[in-house]
Amino acid sequence: MSPSASPSPFLDACRRLPVEHVPVWFMRQAGRSLPEYRALREKHPRFSAVIEEPELAAEVTLQPVRRHGVDAAILFSDIMTPVQAIVPGVDIHPGKGPVVDEPFRTKADLDRLRPIEPEADLPYVLEAVRLVRAELPPEVALIGFAGAPFTVASYLVEGGKSNDYRHTKALMYGAPDVWAELAGRLADITLATLRAQVAAGAQAVQLFDSWAGNLSAADYARHVLPFSTRIFEGLADLDVPRIHFGVGTMHLVDQLSAAGADVIGIDWRTPMADARRIVGPDKAVQGNLDPTVLFAPVEVIEERTRAVLADAGPEPGHVFNLGWGVLPDTDADALTRVVDIVHGA
């Protein structure tokens, strides 16, 4: 059965249906550059405390919709939130990101990673989804999200951010059975989390494999692709668009597509026309303005935004976005200008 049009340009574009204007939203749009977000964080400085308070998480989710007029909201949460809910000693530190007190580096460490029960372990996330969906107009979609097994595992194994992923790759190469069990458990946690978000009201989901670009194509195929595929296959019966995104993944676009998503997020390094050819006519694409363009003069922002639209072509199935997240000191008005340009094109 072919899909039918909805009130949402975003959902229609994800399903490769014709739209009156190319829809646009921004990764990391919830907060980051918004003065109203910074004011809220001054009152609530602990990042995780905002996530764990549904009313606050909902408010931050809705702020960019009010400010920019984007076509989709993305839930304010973090890719480590599900793990944080079930593993002691995991937190999000200002300026550092995720920090894991006791890294996962042996088979025995896996005993600390139990299956997740979203209604019991993440009630605040699901309530935030319900609150946001109740506030959004029908034409603005709500995106749920989670972290892919490799990216979440990299934080658990490294103990936080990494430049070289040495411990993660050492585990992957030296103890592939332990790696496979870790990735499998994380895939199941991610799948359960995403299904619960959809049940609560999310109308699309995005799987962030932010750091997968640090792997070779061969290593991705062997150690990552099977687990991302498990997640997308486990969502197939929900009839919601599934988006797959990673940074620096030009050499992996074909495999990101093969994992089973409906929409492939493209960072700014890969021309959209090339990405269209690689993923084929049966999948939509998302992206891909370089986030640093937003610091350029207005005329440059307009020129580069129109260039992305032209490169993506007139065919249905393009969701405009940045090629990665909004940088913290981005001028919020620059984001609004991009929305206006895209909607008016």
Q: Which two tokens stand for residue 341?
A: 């340009």
CA distance 193 to 128: 14
Q: Is 152 helix (H, G, I), strand (E, B) or coil?
A: helix
The partner residues of 318 in beta bridges, in order of sequence, read 285
To the query of whether residue 78 is one of the catalytic residues in this protein, the response is yes
| 258 CB-contact burial (10 Å; exposed 0-12 / middle 13-18 / buried 19+) | middle
- Nearest by Cα to 262 from 316, 303, 310, 181: 316
CA distance 187 to 147: 9
Quick one: CA torsion of 280, 265, 25, 238, rounded to 10 degrees? 80
CA 97 vs CA 81, 105, 189, 327: distances in Å: 12, 20, 20, 14
Catalytic pick among 12, 15, 71, 78:
78
- Give me the residue label for tokens 């592939």: 176
Q: Which stretches of the chain are assigned E, i.e. beta strand?
A: 72-74, 90-93, 97-100, 141-147, 204-208, 242-245, 263-265, 284-289, 318-322
Active site residue: 41, 130, 269, 304, which one?
41
Decide if 155 is catalytic: yes
Among candidate residues 28, 130, 222, 304, the one labeled active-site is: 28
Please pick, among 37, 124, 155, 165, the residue that the annotation labels catalytic: 155
165 is catalytic: no
57 three-class SS? helix
Q: Identify any residues that bridge with 286 across adjacent strands, giving them in sequence order.
A: 265, 319
* CA distances in angstroms from 165 to 149, 169, 173, 214, listed in the order given: 14, 6, 12, 8
250's tokens:
């030009």
DSSP-based three-state secondary structure for 264: strand
Q: Does the active-site annotation cover 28? A: yes
d(C-alpha 94, C-alpha 46), whole Å = 8
Q: Given the residues 15, 16, 32, 105, select the one marked as catalytic.
A: 32
Q: Which amino acid is at 337?
A: R
- Judge whether 32 counts as a catalytic residue: yes
Catalytic positions are 28, 32, 41, 78, 155
